Structure 1
């Protein structure tokens, strides 16, 4: 390659690096998926869920302000769900709670629930208890291997949430103990690796994060890595029963629909704490609309 060609290649590589490290990680977008669910109660048709996951907050900075600004322009949701990994470091507790609080103030009175991600298990138990208390103070109920009835528009469903599956804290037997197949079940789990088990248990809709959509995606290849032990291909977006069956290579049973968020924040590459790119995988806040179908 000529000297000119090498210079152009080096310039292009530098430009891509700047984009992936400095620009795309701040380009948070709101997505508006519609999820068609066969067993959704008729009264819940059109229910909206603001689903946020993996903010990985270190400080309240540009990305966090962008999330609040984007959400301020949305119609009030019926429900707010957080998919875990609030923290980017143990120092991020108060900053993460500030993000949650500012969103709660945009939509006062909206029922809000969360689960823990693996990031919350990187801090001491007493610090995690402090985080849970701070979240409760701003109206967030943290579900830890449990389920409860949730009533909206005069119709009750089951809302279930497990502790982090990725680090092995999920107890699905306890989480699903009170499930009844007569009632629609919405399940919140940080990592989508439990999708097959949720399908087998009769869950109708599972919302997850953890994968960051791969964070770096390549044309025709997809995500480089998703940290999903079940399948790298369960990366982001919606997966109905047929698509899940195709990816798994077997029918898990049930009629589960899974939605996996690309997340808000960043994971650093192993052994390179300064390297946290996003490429072809913008940060996501999902405003989901549930539909009967």
Structure 2
């Protein structure tokens, strides 16, 4: 039987993308929920080895319960080695990730953005992170201060801003922070869906039609992926795991940021 690919290639047109970033290939890896080594993770590692990536971004929930730290470290170490993107790897933690896991993950070659922001050297690109761990809430005020510092140090103007956040509802905060693109997970795409991809639940403050896909709030774009793992039940129904690879494309005709703010999120498309 032919395996369903885990990697999903997707062109992502973005209005404010600088020409220097057109064609950048970015892998978005989220919600592995490692409890043991699985064939799914081994397949992901095989596919990543041939993915030809520029960036890799990780948006949390690498483990599920206390005690999973060691196996999560082993699996993520192999994932990160296989990804080996040219421009770097960036990550945050999720609500299932423990303080012990965060401590042990410091040894991995990932720039962990614990409510922080960093500009890539030589590129008009800033990556920031709202990190929400089991033991600590995110700090949007600190991220705002760090983003302001990056902007002030940038001699060529404001960079394109990618914000990593585990929770999709923080798109409101991403818009307030001036992010151009937010990457999030957490929802598992609903994990179990009715026919027609209708989610039964999404563990989010957002309505079920905003469970996974591309959303917009005040012109800030969000990509919310289905992730790889499960929680509570080891089951996915009509909701296959995936790791999207976004090919960033410059689209000058795209939507402008609106001001004053609009109420509610706009669903661009779901997956």
Q: Answer yes or no: same fold by TM over 0.5.
A: yes
Let me know the Cα RMSD of the aligned residues.
Answer: 2.4
Q: CA deviation at 1:78?
A: 0.7
1:171-192 deviation digits (Å, cap 9, x = unpaired): 1111122334822110000011
The 5 Å alignment of 1:159-174 reads: 159-164=127-132, 169-174=137-142
In structure 2, relative to structure 1, the CA distance for the partners of 1:281 and 1:93 (3 Å cut) is same
86-95 or 184-193, larger mean C-alpha shift? 86-95
1:230-251 deviation digits (Å, cap 9, x = unpaired): 3322211222x3xxxxxxxxxx
- Taking the aligned partners of 2:240 and 2:125, their CA distance within structure 1 comes to 32
**2:23 is matched with which residue?**
46
In structure 2, relative to structure 1, the CA distance for the partners of 1:163 and 1:89 (3 Å cut) is same
Q: Is 1:143 aligned to residue 108 of structure 2?
A: no
Q: Which of 144, 155, 162 is the aligned partner of 1:176?
A: 144
Aligned residues: 241
The 5 Å alignment of 1:211-230 reads: 211-220=187-196, 222-230=198-206
- Taking the aligned partners of 1:165 and 1:256, their CA distance within structure 2 comes to 24
- So what's the TM-score if we normalise by structure 1? 0.75
**2:221 is matched with which residue?**
257
- Taking the aligned partners of 2:93 and 2:10, their CA distance within structure 1 comes to 24
In structure 2, runs of 5+ residues without a counterpart are 152-156, 252-271
83-92 or 215-224, larger mean C-alpha shift? 215-224
In structure 1, runs of 5+ residues without a counterpart are 1-25, 242-251, 269-274
Q: Which has the higher strand share?
A: 2
45-54 or 141-150, larger mean C-alpha shift? 141-150
Q: CA deviation at 1:167?
A: 8.2
- So what's the TM-score if we normalise by structure 2? 0.81
Q: Which of 164, 167, 180 is the aligned partner of 1:204?
A: 180
SS of structure 2 residue aligned to 1:290: strand
1:206-228 deviation digits (Å, cap 9, x = unpaired): 00000000011112461111111
Whether the 8 Å CA contact 2:197–2:238 is kept in 1: the answer is no
Q: CA deviation at 1:73?
A: 3.1
**2:212 is matched with which residue?**
236
Q: CA deviation at 1:50?
A: 1.2
Q: CA deviation at 1:89?
A: 2.3
Q: Is 1:277 aligned to residue 247 of structure 2?
A: no
SS of structure 1 residue aligned to 2:106: helix
SS of structure 2 residue aligned to 1:177: helix
**1:194 is matched with which residue?**
170
Q: Is 1:60 aligned to residue 28 of structure 2?
A: no
In structure 2, relative to structure 1, the CA distance for the partners of 1:80 and 1:267 (3 Å cut) is same
- Taking the aligned partners of 1:167 and 1:144, their CA distance within structure 2 comes to 13
- Taking the aligned partners of 1:141 and 1:134, their CA distance within structure 2 comes to 14
1:11-30 deviation digits (Å, cap 9, x = unpaired): xxxxxxxxxxxxxxx96621
Q: Is 1:155 aligned to residue 123 of structure 2?
A: yes
Q: CA deviation at 1:106?
A: 2.4
